[in-house]
Amino acid sequence: MTKATTPVLELKSVSRLFEGIRAVDNVSLKLYAGEIVGLIGPNGAGKTTLVNLISGFLSVSSGDVIFDGASITHKKPHVIAQSGIARTFQIVQPFAKMTVLENVMAGAIYAGHRGMVQARDKAIECLEFTKLAHLKDMPASELALANRKRLELAKSLAMNPRVLMLDEVNAGLNSSEIDEAIRMIRSIAATGITIVVIEHLMRVVTALAERTVVLHHGAVASEGPTDEVMRDPKVIEAYLGNKFAQRFAETSGAPVARPA
């Protein structure tokens, strides 16, 4: 996974205001092909807002989003999806009354630019990858949580994305399900897709991401190789508060930030 010289996705001083509050504050980021980047931060740090801004769900108040050399700053969500940025939702949003296969086909048809028949083939391929193929005729609403998360993943994969943003894709899963998901995400990245992992679970981030960005109060608090970021006092402070950070500094251990 060598880094290309030009980023696939670049954020230039992106901000978003909600009635005067800066939910995302002057965030600049560069993402390169095939890398897995962790995006962490305490509750309300603006992680999901950032994903919404990139995917066009919210409009950017100021700044620029560059994808593949072209600005997508004020593009509509479907245009951004078609151009190759896929995302999953924290609260999964399947087409409940459609079958699992049809759900994934939807991704393959519109953003994946395929005809109905090719879309079906692609969808089956994605379902096999995410180990859902045996459930393809089941209505999406009847899936258990872990499988619904996988369905989101399969749907996004079918979109032929170049950037895939996974918003809390592991929340609510048990330990073995998480291991499985980590393996899947690694093999997706191996195909050259850039992955942004938005997580609460540090275990997932440390296992996956070479690079991690920490958001706090909407701004980038720390950025760098994951293990270094985890030791950054600013990160510990963001998660655990001022006093904790001082105490850790005093004991001068090498604590790993763990969210409360």
Indicate the burial class of 160 (C-beta count within 10 angstroms; 0-12, 13-18, 19 or more).
middle
Give the neighbor-by-neighbor strand order of the sheet with 21-31: 21-31, 9-18, 62-67, 70-71
Give the nearest distance from C-beta 98 to other proteins in angstroms: 7
Query: Strand, coil or helix: what is 240?
Result: helix
Short-list 7, 24, 17, CA closest to 196: 7
By CB under 8 A, which span of 33-41, 77-85, 166-174, 209-217 interacts with other proteins?
77-85
- Residues 258/244, Cβ–Cβ less than 8 Å: no
**Rg, the chain, Cα only:** 18
Give the nearest distance from C-beta 60 to other proteins in angstroms: 17
List, in sequence order, the alpha helices (H) in 20-114: 47-54, 77-83, 100-110
Q: Which residues of 167-180 are buried (b: 16+ CB within 10 A; e: fewer)?
A: bbbbbebeeebbeb
By CB under 8 A, which span of 72-80, 211-219, 228-236, 252-260 interacts with other proteins?
72-80
Closest to other proteins by CB, 1 vs 145, is: 145
Give the nearest distance from C-beta 31 to other proteins in angstroms: 19
Q: Does the footprint of other proteins cover residue 58 (CB under 8 A)? A: no
> Residues binding other proteins: what is the number (CB under 8 A)?
36
* Binding-residue pattern over the window 151 to 190 for other proteins, x denoting contact by CB under 8 A: ----x---x-------------------------------
Q: Does the footprint of other proteins cover residue 150 (CB under 8 A)? A: no
Residue found by looking up tokens 């409940």 in the block: 96
Q: Which of residues 82-141 bind other proteins (CB under 8 A)?
A: 82, 86-87, 89, 93-99, 101-102, 105-107, 109-112, 115-117, 120, 124, 136-137
| Bridging pattern class, strands 9-18 and 219-225 | unpaired
Give the nearest distance from C-beta 150 to other proteins in angstroms: 16
Binding site for other proteins (CB under 8 A): 55, 57, 76-79, 81-82, 86-87, 89, 93-99, 101-102, 105-107, 109-112, 115-117, 120, 124, 136-137, 155, 159
